[in-house]
Amino acid sequence: TYSVAISGCSRNEDWETGVRIFNELIEKGVVPDAALYNSAISACEKGGDSEGAVQLLEQMRAEGVRPTVQSFGAAIAACEKAGQWFKALELLGEMHRRGPRPNTITYSSAISACGVAGKWQEALRLLQEMETEGIERNTITYNAAIQACERAGEWEQATALLEQMKQDGVPADTITYNALVRACEKGGNYELAYDLMRQMQI
């Protein structure tokens, strides 16, 4: 199918060809369904083309095709790669207003987008919002929030998140501890950084 062909281009790092195939199909009169749109949006995500991904999302709405969680997930991930944190939050807000309901993946990408842009407070707000909305917070989610704090040098917030992970029964991994160690080193708390390195080796 067409969507498989476009997805294949994305997997082979040839995302621009995937987008070109999609546009050629439109020109030939093919009416794309959600799966085809999702493949094109995912291709844009692979290339960090947030503008293209968002345009396709808007085009879906305009053509009467209901975007799926995957549609939004890929578009938000594209915003993450492009450093477009505010647009990622706008898309998340649109999901809340019009559906579909956000999930762990879409929230994790939005948190990461905030972290890359240095918006650690927004990242923590989203993490709290997930709990309020009853959306599962996994290791990837927490890592995104901890890395947001690490980038900003907020080591106390980062270590508090580790405790929260333990309380929630979410397992920490190497990425978690590496981010925590870097956060403590930036904050000059070398004793805690050493202690965390020891914990990581247990």
- How confident is the model at residue 200, as a pLDDT? 78
- How confident is the model at residue 3, as a pLDDT? 64
* Count of CA atoms in the C-beta half-sphere (13 A) of 139: 8
- The chain-wide mean pLDDT, for the chain, equals 90
Euclidean distance between CA atoms 33 and 107, whole angstroms? 25
- How confident is the model at residue 31, as a pLDDT? 87
Flag whether pLDDT at 1 surpasses 80: no
Six-digit token string for 201: 């080796």
Euclidean distance between CA atoms 54 and 79, whole angstroms? 9
- How confident is the model at residue 134, as a pLDDT? 97
Q: How many CB atoms lie within 10 A of CB 19?
A: 24
Euclidean distance between CA atoms 96 and 135, whole angstroms? 13
Work out the percent of the chain whose per-residue pLDDT is above 70. 92
Flag whether pLDDT at 97 surpasses 90: yes
Six-digit token string for 10: 């994305």
